[in-house]
Structure 1
Amino acid sequence: MKRLLIDGRLVGTEKTFASLNPATGQVLDQAPDATVADAEAAVAAARRAFDTTAWSTDVQLRIRCLDQLHQALTDHLEELRELTIAEVGAPRMLTYGPQLEDPVKLVRYYADLLRKYPLTEELGEREIRGQRHRRWVEKEAVGVVAGITAYNYPNQLALAKLAPSLAAGCTVVLKGAPDTPLTTLFLGELIAEHTDIPPGVVNVLVSSSVEVGELLTTHPGVDMVSFTGSTATGRRIMAAASTTVKKLFLELGGKSAMVILDDADFATAAMFSAFTICSHSGQGCALTSRLLVPREHHDEIVAMVAAGLGRVTLGDPTDIKTFAGPLISERQRDKVDGMVKRAVAAGATLVTGGEKVDPGFFYMPTLLGNVDPDSEIAQDEVFGPVLAVIPFDDDDDAVRIANNSIFGLSGGIQSGDEERAVALARRIRTGTFSINGGNYFAADVPFGGYKQSGIGRESGVAGLEEFLEYKSFATVLPAAEAAES
């Protein structure tokens, strides 16, 4: 059984909870169930490490430790790959990209960025009331960070918080999702056993208790909360953190729209849309789960998308040929199925799918046509392989429908005219955008959303700066020095 990491020590707990293999529904292993007391100890360790050690000021130590973490992840990549497939239900092919190998690149990126990133910025001199003043800005670590992750991409979400926060000089209490605890704990073991990261700098917890998360978001010893998960939970965290005015990063839900314009290659766009919604069986906040199509071509495009969904391989995630695996739990599958049934009852056309597949927590790729843009299925995040097709009348109508959402995480346009596509993309209020299949997902590209999709950005230089505070300095130059300047 894997262990928690608290103050440099790997520790077990009296109580445990089960982690299931979602492809079989069977228990994979038991996970240690952290208590509120464990969380208190982790925060205290992180606070001490930040306040009393050189971690926040020793740039070379941080670079060395990030290099070591990257090497450890590389050396143990295959172990982590098999664990991710088993616990997350992630198809093997996805682990060669966003489920594992792309997240490992984040550690390399931030180690290299720290080597060249200017932590001091000179603003020059200025004369004020007959004296010369030198002004500059130094960028300092925020402090103790509580990183709270979701289940769908546990390696990506953990490393997108750990790598930049450690590069910035922060100390961290990382809480993994209760649906995928073992994957996050594996990272803690690598840190403890294969890096020189000092005790207390990184603490890794998992828990079945909501009280542990609540403590991290309200604890006066925590300076910042970095959370990835649902918008509903994000709202509660924002309210809880307000009592101590913590800095917040929130990466929340999405209901992103893919727009197929009338000059697009319909066959290519339909196939792209079908496979996109089935990536990790739709369990991605940035996936385009609304498909906006010209009204006069609705039936034609729906037929093409249905054919594309028929080519998606759903099944055993250990098989390299499998494209879509299971949903994470029976609870999530019931939620998806309930939303599909309500959509059909509300007037949407069930074109294909809408069925559970056993054993495990599989759900057939599902296509709904003639969806009302104001309906539940078009407005609420499903987090399953369900694509809602919505007809539009013209470009302005497409933009209006795309923006008709509380979310603003991602989006896409398929068009034969790139200039037209870019012009429309600029009118759609989202933080990321794909044009004709363009892939923005990379370590150097900021990721985050508008509106209720969150606050702040992960990855890229912006991802590092989320964990930095700006301190402005000014000093009066001596008269002789001022004269020389």
Structure 2
Amino acid sequence: MDGTTESDSHMNALVLRESRMLINGQLVDATSGRVFENIDPATENVIGVTADAAIEDADAAIGAARRAFDSTDWSTDAELRRRVLHQLADAMEKHAPDLGAVVTAEAGAPIALHDHMQIGPGISALRWAADLATTYEYERQFPARSALGTETRPIVRKESAGVVAAITPWNYPFYLNMTKIAPALAAGCTVVLKPAPDTPWSATMIGKLAVEHTDMPAGVLNIVTSSDNAVGEALTTDPRVDVVTFTGSTATGRRILTAVAPTVKRTLLELGGKSAAIVLPDADLQAALPYIAGSVCSHAGQGCALTTRLLLPRSRYEEGLQLAKTVMEHLVPGDPTDPTTLIGPVVNRTQFERVLSYMELGRTEGRVVFGGGRSNRHERGFFVNPMLIADVDPGATIAQEEIFGPVLVAIPYDTEEQAIEIANNSLYGLSGSVFGADVAHAVDVARRIRTGTIAVNGAAFMSDDVPFGGYRQSGLGREHGIEGFEEFLETKSIGVPA
């Protein structure tokens, strides 16, 4: 199987694509020779094929990662890590148009979002982690003290955690691949990355660039693509793997926790969300509603941290609904290669039918203010219309379950306490937002929302050095920042005579 494929009409003819996996420093086909199709969700056309790994390929990748961790200097040479990761970032910047075209072709992600939601942030995360590899304080010594009858000056040391299995989803594929592998590699771990089968090239391209443009030792980074869920299970259960990091649905996260239990691995989970946007009575609705309604529609609503529950004060309820409707009326699904498009297709037919089923349920659980259903502007592709549903009970299915589509449910509230109670009435706790004219008061409300991230008046919380993660069933652990880097380090305490 050749490493690249012929260009599809939906993709730029110059796009560089890679169908092979990366195992032990080599770009390889599946041992069996099997492949699976990569489908463009905007056209439903097959744009190429990718190596379809089986258990034996996963075994080889884990073995390579284990050997690289145990027998190379990767875990102990921070300067090597910094240099190699910057080499990779340089290559990514050079090939950023190719990376963006791949993400658009296989995920349906609008190119308008690449610079601040897909490619740009992924490369930035890699550079930040690369620099942290050499600036992080891996050891600190405590002052002398008496302990257990001895005079001691303890040392606390941070060491690389080992082999990491990273399993990533399809919604922001390149960016989420980088949020896994960048801190893990910078911390001195070796990695086996398994991307979602819907978006394999967003990972295999990373492997291609690593092989062709860096001095990365063989086995440090391995990328295994597969249509078989058993490959992911093999990564989570293998005793040679020390850490599992997963982004995806809460249901799958629960299964991973069960799978890793016999080997007691460190497990990092970034799972679902059903976040609330609280609009306080004094908020500027002309500023708040375009932000809320627009973000819910972005990338067809396929984001775990989107605020898909709109909480409006009853005194301004209809006014808020009309503003949200006006915004959504101007956001129509379109060709993701068009730079004016903000709503592309959902990723595949399964997700398309799932979103449509929630929309139908919404017609019985609330009042449809606008939209819904499949787009009649497209004969092919998995396009759905944005939908605004009002008068939804806080306990309704569409107010509790993650839809992962451009659906905004509106809920009225009478008091601030009630709004906070509704926002916290969720098995999730990933994100949220608060809008109010009195910023200090809005921040106080934000402090009372049980979520790992929250925005006040649209201010961003996402940054390379700011941790991201959720409470409750939105996950375990953190990504980004020092906290995310330390998830890939073990802690050792050493007693030293004073």
- Counterpart of 2:403 in structure 1: which amino acid? V
Aligned to 2:393: 372
Verify the 8 A CA contact 1:259 1:413 in the aligned structure 2. Answer: yes
Please state which structure has a larger fraction of its residues in strand: 1
Tell me the TM-score normalised to structure 1 length.
Answer: 0.97
Aligned to 1:422: 443
1:356 maps onto 2:382 in alignment: no
Selected match of 1:342 from 356, 361, 364: 361
Aligned to 2:488: 467
Q: Distance in 1 between matches of 2:292 and 2:472?
A: 24
Verify the 8 A CA contact 1:124 1:136 in the aligned structure 2. Answer: no
Verify the 8 A CA contact 1:313 1:321 in the aligned structure 2. Answer: no
Aligned to 2:408: 387
Aligned to 2:15: none
Task: Decide whether aligned partners of structure 1 residues 130 and 385 sit closer, same or farther in structure 2, where only a CA change above 3 A counts.
Answer: closer
- CA offsets per residue over residues 139-162 of structure 1, 9 Å max, x none? 001100000000000111111111
Selected match of 1:3 from 8, 20, 24: 20
What secondary structure does 1:93 align onto? Answer: helix
What secondary structure does 2:263 align onto? Answer: coil
Verify the 8 A CA contact 1:292 1:389 in the aligned structure 2. Answer: yes
Task: Decide whether aligned partners of structure 1 residues 342 and 128 sit closer, same or farther in structure 2, where only a CA change above 3 A counts.
Answer: closer
- Counterpart of 2:59 in structure 1: which amino acid? E
- Counterpart of 1:282 in structure 2: which amino acid? G
Verify the 8 A CA contact 2:155 2:496 in the aligned structure 1. Answer: no
1:411 maps onto 2:456 in alignment: no
Aligned to 2:461: 440
| Structure 1 residue 134: Cα displacement | 2.0
Verify the 8 A CA contact 2:118 2:174 in the aligned structure 1. Answer: yes
Q: Distance in 1 between matches of 2:262 and 2:396?
A: 36
What secondary structure does 1:363 align onto? Answer: coil
Residues 173-188 of structure 1: pairs in structure 2 closer than 5 A: 173-188=192-207
What secondary structure does 1:339 align onto? Answer: helix
Verify the 8 A CA contact 2:275 2:430 in the aligned structure 1. Answer: yes
- CA offsets per residue over residues 370-396 of structure 1, 9 Å max, x none? 111101100000000000001111100
| Structure 1 residue 414: Cα displacement | 0.8
Task: Structure 2: give runs of 5+ residues left out of the alignment.
Answer: 5-18
Task: Decide whether aligned partners of structure 1 residues 275 and 128 sit closer, same or farther in structure 2, where only a CA change above 3 A counts.
Answer: closer
Aligned to 2:117: 98
Aligned to 2:497: 476
1:45 maps onto 2:58 in alignment: no
| Structure 1 residue 282: Cα displacement | 0.5
Verify the 8 A CA contact 1:271 1:308 in the aligned structure 2. Answer: yes
1:169 maps onto 2:188 in alignment: yes
Aligned to 1:481: none
- CA offsets per residue over residues 248-292 of structure 1, 9 Å max, x none? 110000000001111011122111111010111100000000000
| Structure 1 residue 313: Cα displacement | 4.1
Task: Decide whether aligned partners of structure 1 residues 458 and 130 sit closer, same or farther in structure 2, where only a CA change above 3 A counts.
Answer: closer
Tell me the TM-score normalised to structure 2 length.
Answer: 0.94
What secondary structure does 2:358 align onto? Answer: helix
Taking only aligned residues, the RMSD between alpha carbons, in angstroms, comes to 1.0
How many residues end up aligned between the 2 structures?
Answer: 476
Verify the 8 A CA contact 2:332 2:385 in the aligned structure 1. Answer: no
| Structure 1 residue 293: Cα displacement | 0.5
- CA offsets per residue over residues 50-108 of structure 1, 9 Å max, x none? 11111111111111111111111111111111111111111111101111101110011
Aligned to 1:480: none
Q: Distance in 2 between matches of 1:51 and 1:414?
A: 51
Task: Structure 1: give runs of 5+ residues left out of the alignment.
Answer: 478-485
Selected match of 1:145 from 152, 157, 164: 164
What secondary structure does 1:96 align onto? Answer: helix
- Counterpart of 2:181 in structure 1: which amino acid? L
| Structure 1 residue 123: Cα displacement | 1.2
What secondary structure does 2:291 align onto? Answer: helix
- CA offsets per residue over residues 204-238 of structure 1, 9 Å max, x none? 01110010000011111100100000000000001
Aligned to 1:74: 93
What secondary structure does 2:165 align onto? Answer: strand
Q: Distance in 1 between matches of 2:307 and 2:496?
A: 52
| Structure 1 residue 127: Cα displacement | 2.7
Task: Decide whether aligned partners of structure 1 residues 130 and 175 sit closer, same or farther in structure 2, where only a CA change above 3 A counts.
Answer: closer
1:396 maps onto 2:408 in alignment: no
Q: Distance in 2 between matches of 1:78 and 1:19?
A: 19
Residues 184-203 of structure 1: pairs in structure 2 closer than 5 A: 184-203=203-222
Verify the 8 A CA contact 2:359 2:373 in the aligned structure 1. Answer: no
- CA offsets per residue over residues 1-20 of structure 1, 9 Å max, x none? 41000011100121111111
What secondary structure does 1:476 align onto? Answer: coil
Q: Distance in 2 between matches of 1:62 and 1:171?
A: 11
Residues 20-419 of structure 1: pairs in structure 2 closer than 5 A: 20-128=39-147, 131-346=150-365, 348-357=366-375, 358=378, 359-419=380-440
| Structure 1 residue 314: Cα displacement | 2.2
